[in-house]
Amino acid sequence: MKYKKYIKTTFNVLLPFVLGGGILYWMYREYDFSQLRDVIVNEMSWGWMAFSMVFGIAAQVFRGLRWKQSLEPLGEHPTLMDSIHAVFISYASSLVIPRSGEITRCGVLSRYDGVNFSKALGTVVSERIVDSLLMLLMIAVVIVFEVHAFDIFFDKTGTNVMAKLESFTTTGYLVTVLCLVVTCAFLAFIFRKLTFLSRVKAAMANVKEGIMSLRGVERKWLYVFYSVMIWVSYFLHHWIAFYCFDFAEGLGFTVAIVSFVVGSISVIVPTPNGAGPWHFSVKTILILYGVASVNAETFVIIVHSLQTALVPLLGIFSLICLGFRKQKS
């Protein structure tokens, strides 16, 4: 049975790379890469790119600051730098195995600061809830003010949610609801069967405590500030990159925020750092706002490649720093 487990693990690891690679191949199968070198060497502003990287780092630093704050009500007090290093390493690990970062960063603090792993994981869950709410709020605001751009985007990409829903028959809706009910009932049954194990009960209690840790956070305004600054930094990381290229620097705030929102939605697809879906989504938005197709393709491949390259560099930096630290567990 072990070989089946290895096959499943290998499939789960390779699928995101195959999916992302397939989309990139489809996008760039007719692209002339000789012009890419000319843009990088002669036309691109590296000063603006370096400036945008500052905010890429700042977003992760704010995330580390917020995480440390959310752990304190649980009686866990990791050092500030360890919290930041754990975040740096988590993003780097997600490049290898998508969505593995949450587990990785909890493991780092458990190893170097003795932080309870389950409690740490609970605070990460609460972070994801906060981030999701902020992202949904941002998406709603942008859609309200730029609804015509999203209409065109969904039309161009063949995504029509209402058409899909309208194609459902009454039987289809009933079957869908029934499947959801059965799934929830099955999960509830499994959960009840598992919780008789004391270790599982303890772990789940710690996770729940971590999720509820926000109630005990002191200076909640500071937690909100960190949360907002994470997304502001991500946006500036994206927007400032526009000034690296002559064909993009005059596009303005509106194009930047719309492409940022669409790009943020696209990274839900489990590919390494959103490679593929992000390229396609941002490219489509740029074209909708008048950027030539070849320039849009050049923009997304350069910006995404450099921003992605920053992630493992920060992870390696943190691994080196932690290499001089004594482990607690």
Asked whether residue 222 is domain-assigned, the answer is yes
pLDDT at 227 over 70: yes
Average of per-residue pLDDT values in the chain? 79
- Among 49-63, 72-86, 88-102, 152-166, the minimum mean pLDDT is found in 152-166
Q: What is the mean pLDDT of residues 101-129?
A: 88
- Among 35-49, 176-190, 266-280, the minimum mean pLDDT is found in 176-190
Instruction: Return the CA Rg of the chain.
Output: 22
pLDDT at 196 over 50: no
What is the structure's pLDDT at 189? 54
- Among 27-36, 119-128, 155-164, the minimum mean pLDDT is found in 155-164
Asked whether residue 263 is domain-assigned, the answer is yes
Asked whether residue 329 is domain-assigned, the answer is no
- Which pLDDT band holds residue 278 (cuts at 50, 70, 90)? confident
- Which pLDDT band holds residue 64 (cuts at 50, 70, 90)? very high
pLDDT at 201 over 70: no
Q: What is the mean pLDDT of residues 301-323?
A: 92
Asked whether residue 8 is domain-assigned, the answer is no
What is the structure's pLDDT at 307? 92
* Highest mean predicted confidence (pLDDT) among 1-10, 102-111, 161-170: 102-111
Asked whether residue 142 is domain-assigned, the answer is yes
The better pLDDT of the pair 170, 48 is held by: 48
Instruction: Report yes or no: 267 and 91 within 8 Å, Cβ to Cβ.
Output: no
- Which pLDDT band holds residue 153 (cuts at 50, 70, 90)? low
Asked whether residue 1 is domain-assigned, the answer is no
Asked whether residue 304 is domain-assigned, the answer is yes
- Which pLDDT band holds residue 240 (cuts at 50, 70, 90)? very high
Asked whether residue 14 is domain-assigned, the answer is no
pLDDT at 209 over 80: no
- The whole domain housing 208 covers 36-323
pLDDT at 161 over 50: no
- Which pLDDT band holds residue 59 (cuts at 50, 70, 90)? very high
- Which pLDDT band holds residue 140 (cuts at 50, 70, 90)? confident
Q: 94: which DSSP letter?
A: H
CA distances from 212 to 123, 136, 220, 250 (A): 8, 21, 14, 45
Single out the residue of 59, 6, 15 nearest to residue 230, CA to CA. Answer: 59
The better pLDDT of the pair 4, 245 is held by: 245
What is the structure's pLDDT at 205? 55
pLDDT at 237 over 90: yes
**How far, in Å, CA of 52 to CA of 261, rounded?**
17
| pTM for the structure as a whole | 0.77
- Among 50-54, 112-116, 249-253, the minimum mean pLDDT is found in 249-253
pLDDT at 166 over 60: no
Per-residue DSSP letters for 19-45?
A: HHHHHHHHHHTT--THHHHHIIIII--
Q: Looking at the 3D structure of the chain, how many domains does it have?
A: 1
- Which pLDDT band holds residue 66 (cuts at 50, 70, 90)? very high
Q: What is the mean pLDDT of residues 279-290?
A: 86
For the chain, give me the number of helices (H) and strands (E)? 14, 0
Q: What is the mean pLDDT of residues 59-84?
A: 91
φ and ψ at residue 30, rounded to 5 degrees: -115, 15
Q: What is the mean pLDDT of residues 108-116?
A: 89
**How far, in Å, CA of 22 to CA of 34, rounded?**
21
